[in-house]
Amino acid sequence: MDFTCRQQPKGVCAVRGDSQKVFREGKFRRQTMSRRARKDALAFIGFTAPNFILLGVFVFWPIVYSLFLSFFKWNMIAPKKTFIGMDNYVSLFNDPVFWQITRNTLALAVFTVLFKLGIALSLSIQLNRNPRGGSLYRAIIFSPTFTTSVAVAMVWTWIFEPTYGLFRFLFRAVGMTSPDWIHNIHWALPAVIIVLVWSGIGYDMVLFLAGLKNIPQDIYDAALVDGVTPWQNFIHITFPLLSPTTFFLTVTSFIGALKAFDIISIMTDGGPLNSSNVYVLYLYQNAFQWFKTGYASALALILFLLIMVVTLVQNRLSRRWVHY
Phi, psi of 114 (to 5 degrees): -60, -50
- pLDDT for residue 19: 54
Give the integer Cα–Cα distance in Å for 76 and 80. 9
Looking at the DSSP bridge assignments, the partners of residue 72 are 83
Domain 87-321 coded CATH 3.40.50.2000 = no
Per-residue pLDDT tens digits for 161-195: 888 888 888 888 888 888 888 888 999 999 999 99
Low-confidence ranges of the chain (pLDDT < 50): 1-4, 8, 10-12, 14-15, 22-23
- pLDDT for residue 323: 80
- pLDDT for residue 26: 53
Give the integer Cα–Cα distance in Å for 71 and 297. 9
- pLDDT for residue 12: 46
The answer to whether 223 and 233 have CB atoms below 8 angstroms apart is yes
